[in-house]
């Protein structure tokens, strides 16, 4: 199985084409870490302008899906694809130049690393050419401006090694702002708001609506209040998507989603 950046030059490369909306698709994806398959035929599509929540028990393979979309690994079988507008043909991630993939797809994890440098420098990691106006706007909508206003030098304040001077919730806001700064057409959030309280989670959910009309968003989360905001929910179980629908459709159906949140004792906090 191909792993890591050393494989980027191993196939002919395609471009993502003219600017425009992109969807994403996992098509028959199978993946394992050298043993039993973690993903065993996953089929999932997220259309432009749609937010899909991917849920499942711990160890179900949710973060593995995110890692495949970041192309940390490639699937053993099947394909991870970007879907351009019709009649364009799907773009297999393995066929894309790394710069094209990084500019189109932003994956923000729960522990997105911060580095020794200023707040502004950390924000610019994914989009070094962003203008001051773009930086200021994304800082505002993600609540980073309020963090900066409380620091001695604002956005020019050093954050310490691994963001040691910031709380977990503040680091989550910075990570999301960094992920949004480049204007990705596909956004993958892997438990990004897990360190936030419910108010902070709701505030970042509102921030995500900015420029989301054409963006495809895959939201990996376990908090019911986060999951229920999605346009559609996909439940991952046994290596496959076993149920899809809206919160209201699935929570009352006594199916996998209802059983998952009942088992975790989470429905009371929804």
For range 95-118, the mean pLDDT: 86
What is the structure's pLDDT at 266?
A: 47
Instruction: Kindly write down the DSSP assignment for every residue of 98-158, as one continuous string.
Output: HHHHHHHEEEE-TT----SSBHHHHHGGG-TT--HHHHHHHHHHTTHHHHHHTSTTGGGSB
What is the structure's pLDDT at 268?
A: 37
Q: For 181-231, how does the pLDDT look when each residue is reduced to its tens digit (9 = 90+)? A: 988 999 999 988 777 778 887 877 877 887 788 999 999 998 898 899 999
Residue 87: pLDDT over 80: no
Highest mean pLDDT among 71-80, 120-129, 144-153: 71-80
Residue 16: pLDDT over 90: no
What is the structure's pLDDT at 208?
A: 80
Scanning the chain, the segments in alpha helix (DSSP H) are 62-70, 98-104, 119-123, 132-141, 144-149, 168-181, 198-208, 224-227, 247-251, 256-263
For range 87-116, the mean pLDDT: 87
Domain ranges of the chain: 21-112+186-269
- Ranking 86-100, 199-213, 240-254 by mean pLDDT, the lowest is 199-213
Q: Judge if pTM exceeds 0.85.
A: yes
For residue 87, is the peptide bond before it cis, meaning its omega torsion is within 30 degrees of 0? yes
CATH architecture of 21-112+186-269: 3-Layer(aba) Sandwich (3.40)
| Confidence band for 264, pLDDT divided at 50, 70 and 90 | low
Q: Using the structure block, give the residue that is written with the tokens 């962003």.
A: 130
Dihedral angle sign, alpha carbons of residues 125, 127, 129, 131: negative
What is the structure's pLDDT at 252?
A: 87
What is the structure's pLDDT at 26?
A: 98
Q: What region does 175 belong to: left with phi over 0, alpha with psi -120 to 50, or beta?
A: alpha
- Ranking 53-57, 91-95, 206-210 by mean pLDDT, the lowest is 206-210
What is the structure's pLDDT at 171?
A: 87
């Amino acid at each position: 199985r191909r792993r890591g950046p050393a494989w980027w030059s191993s196939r002919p490369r395609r471009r993502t084409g003219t600017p425009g909306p992109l969807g994403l698709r996992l098509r028959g994806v199978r993946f394992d870490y050298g043993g039993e398959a973690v993903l065993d035929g996953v089929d999932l599509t997220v259309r432009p302008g749609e937010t899909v929540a991917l849920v499942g028990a711990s160890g179900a393979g949710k973060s593995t899906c995110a890692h495949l979309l970041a192309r940390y690994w490639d699937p053993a079988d099947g394909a991870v694809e970007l879907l351009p507008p019709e009649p364009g043909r799907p773009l297999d991630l393995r066929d894309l130049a790394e710069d094209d993939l990084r500019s189109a797809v932003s994956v923000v994890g729960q522990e997105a690393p911060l580095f020794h440098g200023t707040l502004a420098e950390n924000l610019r990691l994914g989009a070094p050419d962003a203008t001051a106006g773009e930086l200021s706007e994304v800082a505002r909508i993600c609540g980073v401006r309020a963090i900066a206003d409380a620091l001695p030098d604002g956005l020019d304040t050093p954050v310490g090694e691994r963001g040691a001077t910031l709380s977990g919730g503040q680091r989550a806001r910075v990570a999301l702002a960094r992920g949004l700064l480049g204007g990705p057409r596909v956004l993958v959030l892997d438990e990004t708001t897990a360190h936030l309280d419910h108010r902070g989670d709701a505030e970042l959910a509102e921030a995500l609506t900015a420029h989301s009309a054409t963006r495809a968003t895959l939201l990996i989360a376990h908090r019911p209040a986060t999951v229920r905001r999605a346009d559609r929910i996909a439940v991952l179980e046994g290596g496959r998507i076993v149920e899809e629908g809206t919160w209201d459709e699935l929570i009352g159906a006594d199916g996998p989603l209802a059983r998952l949140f009942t088992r975790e004792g989470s429905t009371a906090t929804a």
